[in-house]
Structure 1
Amino acid sequence: MSVHRITTAETATELDVAGPLFRDKLRGCWVGKNAGGTLGTPVEEAWGRDEPFDVWWYPEIQEGGLPNDDLEMQLVWLTALEQVGPRLTSRDLARYWLDHIGYNWDEYGLSKTNLRLGLQPPVSGAYNNWFVDCMGSPIRSEIWACAAPAQPRIAAKYAYEDAICDHAGGESVYGGLFNVAVQSAAFVVSDKWKLVEIGLSYVPEHSQTAKAVRAAVAAIDDGLDWKAARRRVLEATPHHVAQYSPINMGFQTIGLLAAEDFGEALSITVNCGYDTDSSGGTVGSWWGIMAGDAALPARWTDPFGDAISTNESWGGVRHLSDGSTPVPRTLPEVVDRLVRAAHTVLRDADALEDGSVIRVSEESLYADDSIRELWTRDPLTVTFPEAQFTTSVRYERTPAVSAGQPTYVITRITNPHPDPVSLTLRLTAPAGWPVPDTRQVRIDAAASHDVAWTIPVPERDRLRNSNRLFLMVKAEGYPQEPALPIVLIGSSAVRTASVPATPGKDTAALLDEVFLPERGDDPATRGGVWTELAAEGNALPAEALPGPDEVRYVQTFLHADDPVDAHLGVDSGGPVKAWLNGRELFCLDRYRAIRPSYAGAKDGYVDVRLQSGWNELLIKLVRTADAPPHACHLLFSTADEFHDGLPGIGRTRFSWDHQP
């Protein structure tokens, strides 16, 4: 789609990254980000709401602004860029996630658990991630735009590496690409409509992100006010979660195009609702880069001063102040370090002329084939480019495996040498796992070769949460390559029993009625006919969910080496009752939308003590004839304020399985 209401041709032909204009725009970016985030933080909610807000000034304010993950995480990424250098990748960023990010909200926690299990980006962002379409990555795009100003293609590739750590394969990646393209281009483009057109070139036309942005553009172009435009976006891309990325991309676009000044842009965006701190912060950074700090109204920016607030005091972010490269504490320091980072990135990309000047053509601001190639990358393929022979590992469908069922992976080896090479490929496996045959391959010069592996998976007694295999590549006549990991995640062992519901009985009566699977004290001999299943990730499989007029029991076991205080969530969309070790946890007679994160809502989440050894979790799910189907997720995290995932809690076996 072409945004046809471009009102000017105001595109600068060059930018001096050593000059005062660049510094002014850098400061404007972060002042705007802070202002929008501070305006939106007090009214942020977890669920989307039908009606807009009516907020036109800061509900709460303090020097430095309100602490916000949108801003402080990017300070960590700045440190990563400085320490690693301009060839920074998602695998580098994964280390900074685990070292520095303490909170585990939504996709943050799910992806960090994947990293701790041994999965690498992009698989860490794609597997078992209900929030793959949410706002975690679009909110942290400014750092890459500031490091690659007026070079959105370069900035977008950094934003992509960032996004796939916790959102691979989802709309959030597109949101990150859209935001960073607008922000990078805004260093030389002052026309708001042109900026949106540039941003749209960085996302697929078929995406929900593009659909939401186009709905916003069309509404404003039709002369609708911001409230009517908001309704258009919600109709185009409906979702019940406030952090759903496409909707927020649309709301940011409304705030940018419908506003006449900075304060109005922030207020309109926040009043649209949903992820208010994130969308408000982003539109603030857009405006701040376009206008520069000197042109932002003092009424909106003076309350912050030069300080930067973070969540380090309680551990939300960690090790910001210590180490060899502490993060900036003031805006002038942010600007100074970003100027240096931009020089480093742009020199590495050979984008500077005359020492510090970027020459810009309008065509270079739009996406090219190198960006469109990002859209088609497989979120289940891990590449190891640093090895002598570039190797990738592609999971067939999922990194999860089920006991006794073979799984399949494909390894691709690329020979960068000018001569053919002969390779010996061998997989090593955990103790007790059958080992696939060794392969001998010959690869022509500058060619690639695919090797398909069938990996036998043992029975449950040998299956763990994380099962680590290694690919050994031995090249005749070359030094030994390091072993490359192939991590397989053990599916959870669950079993289910069905009981027909008495027609006409309401859910309350069905929840109270004691059916055969509830009776008895021995978990191994509960009554009824049970079917064993394997659950990939946190979601219960479809076979474990109730059909119309059905009561469905689900049993699973949690193994703890030592007693653990845990936060347990049974996030069910329908009526549910749950017991842990025979003690009733809750009984909930309702239907609702789910939002399965570690912290969760109060409804269906409870703090428990897991005893040393085996713990039985028994769940009862009820569905009446006229009720829609509903999902159910099981989640376990620490019972403190951080809600760290618990990847060490065993879930791959039943209590009666043999343990080697």
Structure 2
Amino acid sequence: MTVPKPSFILIENLKLYVIKEAVYMKTISKEEYRNKVYGCWLGKNIGGTLGAPFEACREVHDVEYYTHNFSEGVLPNDDLDLQLSWLCAAERFGNSVNAKILAEYWVSTIVPNWAEYGVGKNNLRFGLEPPVSGGFCNAFKDSNGSWIRSELWACLMPGHPELAVRYALQDAMIDHADEGIYAEVFTTALESAAFAVTDYEELIQIGLSYIPADCGIAKAVRLAIECYHDHLTWKEARIRLLTQIPGSFGGQLRLPNPDNLPQGPWGYDAPSNIGLTVLAWYYGEGDFSKSICIAAGCGEDGDCTTATLGSVMGIILGASGIPEKWLKPIGDEIKTCSLNLQSSMLKVPKTVTELTNRTSCLMPSFMTGYFDLYSSGAEIVLNTDKELYDHPIRDWTIKPPFFTDEYPENFQTFIGENAIMKLQVSVTEGIRIHEGETRQLKLHAENISGFVGDPLWLKLKWFLPEGWSIDTGTNTALFLNQYHCGSGNASAVAQITAGPADGAITTVLLEVTAAGRPGRIYIPIQFVCEA
């Protein structure tokens, strides 16, 4: 449904409505929304079951239907499992859920210790928080474990990728960095936008707007599209993609490699597999069955590519638009393989219907201002057109901020925030350190007190271990302007020199206060003192 609305300027708590031009908003009913959420989760189960037999294959296959034993029903898949833990976290903490909360659920409820899952968990248990946990000593930081768990955020914030991607970023940094993060942001953005847009070419461009143009994910996506427009067959496109952007997933089991595809760097798998997902979507040309069969036939991380494509096409088509032949062999059941079912933190849904109902009930708490639970129509307001792309939400600023400005400078970044300010401290040369060595600390502050908020004088106080020093001194100040007619940001640089280690992890503590404000932020900056 599309209805006219007045454009308006929001000044603090005052809405000043000014009719300037015909502005339109798109809405969907609760029933249509639920149909799309149900389609998403059914598509996830369908794709995971179809693609699982081709996981880690480097051969191409002509797939037409399920190849597993139908008596098994739906196959369990970590792609869905992980999101059931996130669902429980979101039900408990609502829209306050963040990386630190999800990290606790990760350690308590996720069983596998393989690849990035295990490295992330090991870092968390060592005492390293996100985003450091996702990248430190993690050869799999660019792999596939994050973008396969993006659907929940899209379903909780339908038609609002600008909201959903912020949770995707918090999610991915637990056990990924760099391409692993960009991959989840990309899939989350296009999946959320799929509640408002059905054209796959536009959805892919929306997803690209939220990630750096020069990252590996973006390059793989553009290459897949280029292959299609060069009129290659999908099998030829697969070879070109996996040759120019090689991954490691399809080569890990030493299975046949008849096309002599190169082996990429170990763990560098998100770019090639996102590329294969887009390739299958383009060559499937909007047909659900054709698209997911191509995705499965491409192999590599076949369950991930096929499940993600099945879910986004399930959003577009809704459950009612998914061909019945894909539903009969697997039914409505959810099977798990990666969850600690004994954990009191989990209440795992047993069916896709239950998962859909719980997702739908949770959505209003993430969509404040876009869904009125008590109105007679109770329709959900979706973004449209340019609003679906990454765009600055503040005008009258020196440098309007985009979502892409929010990526940490590197994964060795420590973050703190309260109601009025957000700070990041990046260790540009890494957190490994020995006595006598120096590291540069880059501090970035953002004023989040409101568009027409208060300029702030920040007082920085460093608490150093005995024998450590910092070139700025332990007490300094930093001016942080508001966004309105300002930048809303401030930066500073300091050099810290290590003294004796006081443990395997040595912590430098930064206390930040704003003059005249009661709140304090404490940011522990952790250095690993290796032998």
Whether these two folds match at TM > 0.5 is yes
> Aligned partner of 2:385: which letter?
E
Indicate the structure (1 or 2) with the bigger Cα radius of gyration. Answer: 1
**What is the Cα deviation at residue 13 of structure 1?**
5.8
Contact 1:171 1:207 in 2 (8 A): yes
**Is 2:330 the counterpart of 1:322?**
no
**Is 2:508 the counterpart of 1:469?**
yes
Which of 247, 268, 271 does residue 246 from structure 1 map onto?
271
List aligned pairs for 1:330-369, cutoff 5 A. Answer: 330-347=351-368, 350-352=369-371, 355-369=378-392
Closer, same or farther: CA 17–391 of 1 in aligned 2, 3 Å: same
Question: 3-state DSSP class of the match of 1:247?
Answer: helix
**Aligned-pair identity (%):** 34
**What is the Cα deviation at residue 259 of structure 1?**
2.0
Closer, same or farther: CA 471–484 of 1 in aligned 2, 3 Å: same
Closer, same or farther: CA 222–86 of 1 in aligned 2, 3 Å: same
Contact 2:158 2:192 in 1 (8 A): yes
**Is 2:100 the counterpart of 1:79?**
no
Which of 434, 440, 444 does residue 402 from structure 1 map onto?
434
In 2: Cα distance, 1:395 partner to 1:65 partner: 46
Question: 3-state DSSP class of the match of 1:210?
Answer: helix
Question: 3-state DSSP class of the match of 1:470?
Answer: strand
**What is the Cα deviation at residue 281 of structure 1?**
0.4
List aligned pairs for 1:638-653, cutoff 5 A. Answer: 652=531
In 2: Cα distance, 1:17 partner to 1:320 partner: 37
Closer, same or farther: CA 75–17 of 1 in aligned 2, 3 Å: farther
In 2: Cα distance, 1:477 partner to 1:256 partner: 55
In 1: Cα distance, 2:319 partner to 2:304 partner: 20
**What is the Cα deviation at residue 448 of structure 1?**
4.7
Closer, same or farther: CA 62–488 of 1 in aligned 2, 3 Å: farther
**Is 2:463 the counterpart of 1:454?**
no
Aligned to 1:161: 170
Give unmatched runs, 5+ long, in structure 1. 1-11, 492-651, 653-660
Closer, same or farther: CA 455–42 of 1 in aligned 2, 3 Å: same
Aligned to 1:142: 151
**Is 2:305 the counterpart of 1:279?**
yes
Which of 5, 11, 15 does residue 27 from structure 2 map onto?
15
In 2: Cα distance, 1:220 partner to 1:332 partner: 36
Aligned to 1:440: 475
Contact 2:415 2:523 in 1 (8 A): no
In 1: Cα distance, 2:420 partner to 2:185 partner: 31
In 2: Cα distance, 1:31 partner to 1:344 partner: 23
Closer, same or farther: CA 64–466 of 1 in aligned 2, 3 Å: farther
**What is the Cα deviation at residue 43 of structure 1?**
2.7
Which of 252, 263, 270 does residue 289 from structure 2 map onto?
263
**What is the Cα deviation at residue 381 of structure 1?**
2.2
Aligned to 1:199: 207
Aligned to 1:26: 37
Instruction: Answer with 405-414 or 30-39: which moved more.
Output: 405-414
**What is the Cα deviation at residue 17 of structure 1?**
5.0
**What is the Cα deviation at residue 317 of structure 1?**
1.6
**What is the Cα deviation at residue 321 of structure 1?**
6.4
In 2: Cα distance, 1:479 partner to 1:190 partner: 48
**What is the Cα deviation at residue 236 of structure 1?**
2.9
TM-score when scaled to structure 2? 0.79
**What is the Cα deviation at residue 112 of structure 1?**
1.7
Map Cα deviations across residues 8-30 of structure 1 (whole Å, 9 max, x no partner).
Answer: xxxx9633352x22111111111
Question: 3-state DSSP class of the match of 1:231?
Answer: helix
Map Cα deviations across residues 357-396 of structure 1 (whole Å, 9 max, x no partner).
Answer: 2143222222224233245744332220038764432213
In 1: Cα distance, 2:415 partner to 2:221 partner: 32
Closer, same or farther: CA 85–409 of 1 in aligned 2, 3 Å: same
Question: 3-state DSSP class of the match of 1:441?
Answer: strand
Aligned to 1:380: 412
> Aligned partner of 1:291: which letter?
L
Contact 1:387 1:481 in 2 (8 A): no
> Aligned partner of 1:300: which letter?
W
> Aligned partner of 1:358: which letter?
V
Contact 2:460 2:510 in 1 (8 A): no
Once superposed, what is the RMSD of the aligned Cα atoms? 2.9
Map Cα deviations across residues 292-318 of structure 1 (whole Å, 9 max, x no partner).
Answer: 11121222112222221012xxxx322
List aligned pairs for 1:33-182, cutoff 5 A. Answer: 33-45=44-56, 49=58, 51-60=59-68, 61=70, 65-168=74-177, 170-182=178-190
Contact 1:122 1:382 in 2 (8 A): yes
In 1: Cα distance, 2:232 partner to 2:517 partner: 67
**What is the Cα deviation at residue 344 of structure 1?**
1.3
In 1: Cα distance, 2:430 partner to 2:418 partner: 24
Closer, same or farther: CA 301–364 of 1 in aligned 2, 3 Å: same
TM-score when scaled to structure 1? 0.65
Closer, same or farther: CA 112–294 of 1 in aligned 2, 3 Å: same
Question: 3-state DSSP class of the match of 1:214?
Answer: helix
In 2: Cα distance, 1:386 partner to 1:322 partner: 29
**Is 2:462 the counterpart of 1:426?**
yes
Question: 3-state DSSP class of the match of 2:509?
Answer: strand
Aligned to 1:289: 315
Instruction: Answer with 419-428 or 361-370: which moved more.
Output: 419-428
Closer, same or farther: CA 443–191 of 1 in aligned 2, 3 Å: closer
In 2: Cα distance, 1:245 partner to 1:105 partner: 16
Map Cα deviations across residues 47-99 of structure 1 (whole Å, 9 max, x no partner).
Answer: x72x3134433232456621111101011111112212213222222122112
Closer, same or farther: CA 320–38 of 1 in aligned 2, 3 Å: farther
Contact 1:89 1:158 in 2 (8 A): yes
> Aligned partner of 1:52: which letter?
V
In 2: Cα distance, 1:475 partner to 1:293 partner: 51
In 2: Cα distance, 1:65 partner to 1:420 partner: 56
Write 1 or 2 for the structure with the bigger share of helix.
Answer: 2
> Aligned partner of 2:339: which letter?
V
In 2: Cα distance, 1:360 partner to 1:387 partner: 26
Contact 1:388 1:481 in 2 (8 A): no
